A and B are shown apart, each in its own frame.
Chain A
Amino acid sequence: MQEAMKIYFELNGEQRYVEIEPGESLLSLLRRLGMKSVKSGCETGDCGACTVLLNGRAVRSCTTFAAQVRGKRVTTLEGLGDVDDPHPLQEAFVEAGAVQCGFCTPGMILVAYELLSKNGAPTPQEVRAAISGNLCRCTGYVKIVDAVLLAAQWKREGKWR
């Protein structure tokens, strides 16, 4: 018999107090909470579609137990921006034509967000290294690299938040 437990954590800037199963994945919890940008891909940590930021670091939510985020800060793509008020990184992906089917896009944007938070002027090679763990099933990597470089340029120009 699994014993349900309760944890508190910060999700996209809001404190949440939720009931979870002890062996539940963070991916499952976030989907339950309506965070549909977090995609269920391989569920083995290989594809990167379920990437979220945990205390500002990109991690796979499918290989993270929900219980591990107790007291921590989780950011999904919904926490960066939306259609009405997109984050500059989201705008850069649209501007560069980096979105095809869109399944990998949330994960790509979040690993790029972590990269740009540490390195404001990445080289194309550094961008490729940062996104190397995220698979694009449309194989459209060139435009994704372009989008991250464009976002980096906007950040240097002060178009950021």
Chain B
Amino acid sequence: MRLKIKRFHYARDVEEALSLLSAYRGRGAILAGGLDLARSFNPKLEGLIDISGLGLSYVHEQDGGLRIGATTTLTEVLESRAAREYLGGFLAEVVGQVANPPLRNQATFGGAVASAHPWADLPTALVAVGAEVRWVDQEGEHRARVEELWQGEFRRLLSSAVITEIFLPPWEGAFAFGKLSRNVGDIALLNCACGLGIEDGKVAWARVALGATPRRGRRLLWLEDLLTGEAPGEELWQVVREQVEANVEVGADRRASAAWRRAAAGPLLARTLARAAEKATARQR
């Protein structure tokens, strides 16, 4: 461990966790699974506040959507029947590709939202489905769509808050997830989540998020507009490949060049959209 923690607290309720956070004045942190904190270099941190005993580990179905408690581990999500059934298995498809079983036993859903690593798989999927984060701070309860939260100074905002729940809304169509990585379980070089609603043989709505670009997952609104009203099929996927290569905004990091990401994004998105279209069409039957 690289942290020089002076005190470790076991919060008994959200109010106590917030009170402790406030007392540390920026030198305390909320701990759920602890995976990211254990690898953190933050020399300022003096206190850790464990919220794993607050009863925030659950997965509940609600009107076709899902409410996932912040301290629910990714393994618990995978083992939840409601989560496995959500959007025809879409969430399980994503979570099953995150890291490996021991890390999924420790990583939590709330932790994934708080850390929101740019290369991570869950943020891309949560942006695509329009997930909502619910948190509590000294001023009360708050909620926001993840894509709005992450566009702002969310780390500062969440440093004095406790994430309580993530809500994944229901959708009538189907979603698919695509990922390119060096090997199974490795972090993504590029990932995407695609949702389509099909009506009368045409795309009624589209939700497309591309992540690890190397920025965090963001929706491609121009591609969603391009897809809407079109008939899904190889002709449309070819247009996707060409338009993505021409228009996508990608960059370079130590894992992949911008040129590679530009060349790979089109085929990845086209392939994932084709799977989403196939699932959406099958759901209609």
Residues of A within 8 A of B (CB): 1-3, 5, 21-25, 28, 44-45, 48, 51, 54, 57-60, 62-65, 67-68, 70, 111, 114-115, 129-130, 132-134
A76 to chain B, nearest CB (A): 14
Whole-angstrom CA separation of A23 from B50 in the bound complex: 12
Cα–Cα, bound, A63→B75 (Å): 17
User: Do A2 and B4 have beta carbons less than 8 Å apart?
Assistant: yes
What is the distance, in angstroms, from A29's C-beta to the closest C-beta of chain B?
11
Query: Inside 8 A of A67's CB, which chain B residues have their CB?
Result: 8, 48, 50
* 9 contacts across the A-B interface (CB closer than 8 A): A23-B3, A23-B6, A44-B39, A59-B102, A59-B106, A63-B38, A111-B101, A130-B101, A133-B101
Tell whether, in the assembled complex, residue B105 and residue A59 are in contact, meaning their CB atoms are under 8 Å apart.
yes
Collect the chain A residues with CB atoms within 8 Å of residue B35's CB: 45, 63
A60 vs B39: C-alpha distance when bound (angstroms) = 12
CB pair B102 A65 closer than 8 Å: no
Q: Which B residues are CB-close (under 8 A) to A51?
A: 102
Query: Once the chains are docked, how many angstroms separate the CA of A133 from the CA of B75?
Result: 14
Q: What mask results when residues 166 to 192 of chain B are scored 1 for a CB within 8 Å of chain A, else 0?
A: 000000000000000000110000000
Question: In the complex, which residues of chain A have a beta carbon less than 8 angstroms from the beta carbon of B6?
Answer: 1-3, 22-23
| A1 CB contacts on chain B under 8 angstroms | 6
A91-B4 Cα distance, complex, nearest whole Å: 41
The docked-state distance in angstroms from the alpha carbon of A106 to that of B31 is: 28
- Select which of B4, B5, B10, B38 is within 8 A of A64 by beta carbon: B38
Q: Which of A44, A133, A134 lies in contact with B99, CB distance below 8 A?
A: A133
In whole angstroms, how far apart are the Cα atoms of A82 and B31 in the complex?
A: 35
In contact, A70 and B10 (Cβ under 8 angstroms)? yes
| Given contact pairs A62-B38, A68-B34, A132-B184, A57 touches B75 in the complex (Cβ within 8 A) | yes
Question: Does B23 have its Cβ within 8 Å of any Cβ on chain A?
Answer: no
Residue of B nearest to A7 (CB): B8
CA A115 – CA B7 in complex, angstroms? 35
Contact of A65 among B8, B100, B105, B185 (CB under 8 A): B8
- State the CA gap A1–B75 with chains docked (Å): 37
Between A and B, how many residue pairs show CB distances below 8 Å?
Answer: 91
Complex-state Cα separation, A74 to B253, whole angstroms: 39
Inter-chain contacts of A111 with B (CB < 8 A): 101-102
Task: Report whether B8 and A22 are in contact in the complex, using a CB–CB cutoff of 8 Å.
Answer: yes
Cβ contact within 8 Å between B5 and A63:
no
- Given known contacts A59-B105, A115-B101, what 11 new A-B pairs fall within 8 Å (CB)? A2-B6, A22-B6, A25-B38, A45-B35, A45-B38, A57-B75, A58-B102, A68-B34, A68-B52, A132-B101, A134-B100
Q: Are B184 and A129 in contact (CB under 8 A)?
A: yes
Q: Which of A2, A28, A60 contacts B102 (CB 8 A)?
A: A60
Set of chain B residues within 8 Å of A24, measured between Cβ atoms? 1
Q: How far is the CB of A130 from chain B (nearest CB, A)?
A: 6
Which residues does chain A contribute within 8 Å of B7, judged by CB atoms? 3, 5, 22
Contacts of B106 in A (CB 8 A): 59-60, 63-64
Q: CA A133 – CA B184 in complex, angstroms?
A: 9
Considering only residues 29-49 of chain B, those with a C-beta below 8 Å from chain A are 31, 34-35, 37-39, 48
B256 contacts partner chain A, Cβ-Cβ < 8 Å = no
Q: How many whole Å from A161's CB to the nearest CB in chain B? A: 23
Q: CA separation between A57 and B103, bound complex, in Å?
A: 10
A148 to chain B, nearest CB (A): 13
Q: Distance (Å) between the CB of A30 and the closest chain B CB?
A: 14
B103:A60 contact, CB within 8 angstroms: yes
In the assembled complex, the CB of B108 is this many whole angstroms from the nearest CB of chain A, namely 12
Q: Are A63's CB and B31's CB within 8 A?
A: no
Residues of B within 8 A of A132 (CB): 100-101, 184-185
Known: A45-B38, A62-B38. A25 touches B50 (CB 8 A): no
- Over the window 53-80 of chain B, the binary record of Cβ atoms lying under 8 Å from chain A Cβ atoms (1 yes, 0 no) is 0000000000000000000000100000
By a CB distance below 8 angstroms, the chain B residues around A115 are 101
Q: Which residues of B contact A129 (CB under 8 A)?
A: 100-101, 184
Q: With a 10 A CB-CB cut-off, give which of A44, A64, A115 has the most chain B CB atoms.
A: A64
* Residues in A whose Cβ lies below 8 Å from that of B101: 58, 111, 114-115, 129-130, 132-133
In the complex, the chain B residue whose C-beta lies closest to that of A24 is: B1
